[in-house]
Structure 1
Amino acid sequence: MQDSEWSRGLAMSADGKGQIGHVGGIHLRLLAERTGLTGALSGALRRQGFHPLHDRGQVLVDLATAITLGATCIRDIRLLEHQRAVIGPVASFPTVWRALKEVDERALRRIERARAAVRRHVWKILADRPEGFPEVAVDGVALTGWTVIDTDGSLVLAPSEKDGAHGTYKGTYGHHVFVAVCDNTGEELAQLLHRGNTTANDTGVNIDLLTRAVTQLPWWRRQKILVRVDGAGFSRDLLRWIASAGGRRSPTFRWEYSTGWAFTDREQAAVEQADRRGLWQQATNADGEPREDAFVADLTGLLGDLSAWPAHHKVIARKEPLHPRHLKDASAYEVAKGMRYQTFATNTRHGQAQFLDARHRKHARIEPKIRDQKASGMRLLPSREMPVNTAWLTATAIACDLRAWLQLLALDGELAKATPKTLRYRILHVPARLVRGQRRRRLRLPASWPWADAIVRAFHRIQALPRPT
């Protein structure tokens, strides 16, 4: 069989010079430097009398950069080795391993404080933009001033010899990772690694997660917080803690929750009363338009005594036709009715049931974010030791922040909302040629690359960021 026209005379060799791959790693490393993240982490991990060849803060930033580029294990730090001509020497795999082993509980707390300080600076930059700080919108209405935190748990499979690995409720074996994400910015505020048999509604774990998440927020975004939790994660004590603003007594703090609610016989009886009384109202879709065959109703007054729950506690139900993909998990009542019923609870005082339902349904946006995190290093824990795996998860959280800041501060349009996979393909994995001249170094991107201008524009925007004071 003859070669086709395009491949005739084509050859390949590995002797190119001046080529730099994954040029987006330069953006991420520069972004960490300009926002003050590298310096803050260096200060957090500095130890008296210990002067390593590779600064530990820079090592952690480089690892987060590699994870953002697609690394899924510590050994993938080699992704940055071919950028030596631009960024200088990069820590080796054993050095990165030792750096993670050095991160104990006290170092983790210092890293959290460093991340919070840098986040204050970044959020100040966002607030000072002409478009202002990103606000979450529901039905086209912005929740101005509200910081929305979504929490969820995810199981990470692991062999039995790993510290903390245990049988899970799904019959698998591994760890339980709890994550808190800011829906305003897409940043991962906090993450906790626990044994696989830790229940999703463990009150202590969830309060610890939210406490760490709130600590990451600047003070001016802590007054009005909406916490969204799925039905597997809520508990009465957790909702009381949220409603009390974490035990704060100042009236300036107004924290609300929107959480999944169990559909039991009591809720079924309330739904039947709603049917008889005609209490159902048309539900809305993402853009605020009525959604056909979907309805919501406030069941609070039909559920009897709810005084044990926080003030203004209300329960809202949603019903829609039972889709075949939900049939295996449907109850006998849902199968008989041919409808799927979902209930959620909130302590929001005002707002129509349709709006509150649409607001709660946006909690589902945390699921693709966790899926992206699993594809960015969270799926495979690298060590048998729990502390090393905890430090690795911290690096994946920093990687999530870097990706979010890149999109918020340096990219426009669809690139500012692109998934990590799309971002890598279009921006991060592009090669460039390193050219030296006139005492300067210049990275030259392929002129034919469709997103070359966006990459150059992002680089200049990062360079222009104000440094922290």
Structure 2
Amino acid sequence: MQFKHAPAAVSAVFDDPNLVSAAGLVPMLGLARKAGLDELTQSRLSVPTDKGSNAGAKVMALVAGMLAGADSIDDMDLLRHGGMGRLFDRTYAPSTLGSFLREFRFGHVRQLDAIASRVLGNLTGDTPLLQVRTGEQVMVDLDDTIIEVHGYQKQGAGFGYSGVRGLNALLATASTASSAPVILGQRLRQGKTGSPKGAARIVGDALATLRRTGAATGATPLLRADSAFYGHATIGTAIKAGADVSVTVRMDPAVKAAIATIPDDAWTMIEYTDSIRDETTGQLISKAEVAEIDFTAFRSRKKAERIAGRLVVRRIPDLNPRQVEQPTLFDTYRHHAFFTTTDKEAMDTVVADKTHRAHAIIEQVHADLKNGPLAHLPSGVFTANSAWLVLAVIAFNLARAAGLIADKAGRLARATTATIRRTLIHVPARLARSARRVTLHLPKAWPWEAAFARLFATAHAPPPAPIS
């Protein structure tokens, strides 16, 4: 593509009051309103009156800014250009929204958590965000990530397991084979916090939210996590809530002793269609052997707290075995094991191994959020950043619902938030008013016109007639 005119023949003037750069916010906020975001916030969020008045409108404004690409408080100014004031009421200044967030305390963040849970439940009532086929399980994935911060004014910032100075965000997601992940629960923690701290509570909250969506009806959800979350509190909470677990274990003496009892003829060779990266060395591998053995977790605890299940083990011939005269089993192979309570008849050893490895899908959610609102944590106040995380999750789930509504059978149904923003939200429009109606004049031949039209029609459909 080449420029059509001479540079001197073109000028730029910011003078049109009827243009907007993100017309897709119209159906997106319509979708948020249908999910009850403003009403739930107004009724449930008790931020002090002087800063918390019109809490519903302020939360809607913050979510709208995130949907449009804002990753800081100052970026919320993108809601106040051109004809935005003609489309939306209460387009608050960034300073007002920043003051509102700084009024949050831990209790207010928990109230916002409850609002996010109910909004997701309302979204799934109208949109099949989690499509569960017959005999299929909903996968609930748990993992944390470090959000890097800079400067010394961030409350709670510290050096965590990654060696990066930041804050720790713990997320729980849900997905199925035919549905992209949605976020069930979230918690912001101090940067130096260990991964398992508070994990049991977020597992309980996430599974309660999953039940509210109705996606787990008739099927047992499966909690997947890495070895940092292998503890009785987390696993016990999941089982008590009616879920199965698939959690990587640490190679402690009990696990090694169990692996050593697996007979040589019990191992099954598997070849991966796509090479996978070894968790220990980082090298790509294309084949391995898997086997399993019955295993009781947490044997050191009292009998009622022990959990029976299976230990599924994947072993890989070591590329650089230690040079010893009489190598042992653990000198010859590298072993990766996970504990699962799934039924062997429904999920054999090979399938269980493949299912557990798919836990890495949650890393895509971390990357998606960091490519948007979590590129920064905008405040020096820890609770303000905690609220920011919850709002980012609400925006993520709204974008997921919008993509599914707009293009149920196409790529937008599983697209990243950045793609949905580019195709459905960042649509320029010119406003025209006639007979008390506002018309959005959108670009001719917009490639995603049909998808936008479907989203717009759904978000602005009249409510169903009451049943007499």
Residues 1:143 and 1:366: Cα distance change in structure 2 (over 3 Å): farther
1:305 shift after superposition: 7.5
Q: Which residue of 2 aligns with 1:250?
A: none
Q: Distance in 2 between matches of 1:26 and 1:304?
A: 53
1:322 shift after superposition: 7.3
Would the aligned equivalents of 1:25 and 1:66 in 2 still touch at CA under 8 Å? Answer: no
Q: Distance in 1 between matches of 2:123 and 2:158?
A: 39
Q: Distance in 1 between matches of 2:465 and 2:63?
A: 21
Q: Deviations over 1:346-366 (max 9, x none)?
A: 111232111111221221100
Residues 1:46 and 1:385: Cα distance change in structure 2 (over 3 Å): closer
Q: Which residue of 2 aligns with 1:96?
A: 97
1:193 shift after superposition: 1.6
SS at match of 1:186: strand
1:298 shift after superposition: 1.0
Q: Distance in 2 between matches of 1:386 and 1:228?
A: 29
Q: Which residue of 2 aligns with 1:206?
A: 199
Q: Which residue of 1 aligns with 2:140?
A: 149
Residues 1:242 and 1:97: Cα distance change in structure 2 (over 3 Å): same
Would the aligned equivalents of 1:434 and 1:443 in 2 still touch at CA under 8 Å? Answer: yes
Q: Distance in 1 between matches of 2:298 and 2:426?
A: 58
SS at match of 2:75: helix
Residues 1:414 and 1:102: Cα distance change in structure 2 (over 3 Å): same
Residues 1:111 and 1:169: Cα distance change in structure 2 (over 3 Å): closer
Unaligned runs of 5+ in 2: 275-284, 321-326
Q: Distance in 2 between matches of 1:391 and 1:183?
A: 24
1:323 shift after superposition: 9.3
Would the aligned equivalents of 2:143 and 2:226 in 1 still touch at CA under 8 Å? Answer: yes
SS at match of 1:193: strand
Check if 1:171 corresponds to 2:163.
yes
Q: Which residue of 1 aligns with 2:323?
A: none
Check if 1:431 corresponds to 2:425.
no
Q: Distance in 1 between matches of 2:248 and 2:415?
A: 28
Residues 1:274 and 1:303: Cα distance change in structure 2 (over 3 Å): farther
SS at match of 2:58: helix
Q: Which residue of 1 aligns with 2:336?
A: 342
SS at match of 1:348: coil
Q: Which residue of 2 aligns with 1:67?
A: 66
Q: Which residue of 2 aligns with 1:18?
A: 18
Check if 1:448 corresponds to 2:449.
no
- The TM-score, its normalising length taken from structure 2, stands at 0.81
Q: Distance in 1 between matches of 2:423 and 2:317?
A: 39
SS at match of 1:187: strand
1:389 shift after superposition: 1.4
1:455 shift after superposition: 1.1
Q: Deviations over 1:286-332 (max 9, x none)?
A: 9xxxx9624321143799989977443111122457799xxxxxxx9
Q: Distance in 2 between matches of 1:176 and 1:100?
A: 19
Check if 1:194 corresponds to 2:189.
yes
Q: Distance in 2 between matches of 1:277 and 1:467?
A: 62
Query: Pick from 203, 210, 222: which aligns with 1:217?
Result: 210
Q: Distance in 1 between matches of 2:71 and 2:429?
A: 24
Residue 423 of structure 1 aligns with an amino acid whose one-letter code is: I
Would the aligned equivalents of 1:270 and 1:303 in 2 still touch at CA under 8 Å? Answer: no
Residues 1:465 and 1:243: Cα distance change in structure 2 (over 3 Å): farther
Would the aligned equivalents of 2:400 and 2:414 in 1 still touch at CA under 8 Å? Answer: no
- The TM-score, its normalising length taken from structure 1, stands at 0.81
Residues 1:211 and 1:92: Cα distance change in structure 2 (over 3 Å): same
| Percent pairwise identity | 24
Q: Which moved more, 1:389-398 or 1:309-318?
A: 309-318
Q: Which residue of 1 aligns with 2:357?
A: 361
1:97 shift after superposition: 1.1
Residues 1:467 and 1:200: Cα distance change in structure 2 (over 3 Å): farther
Would the aligned equivalents of 2:172 and 2:186 in 1 still touch at CA under 8 Å? Answer: yes
Aligned ranges 1:292-331 → 2 under 5 Å: 293-300=287-294, 310-319=306-315
1:256 shift after superposition: 0.8
Would the aligned equivalents of 2:138 and 2:222 in 1 still touch at CA under 8 Å? Answer: yes
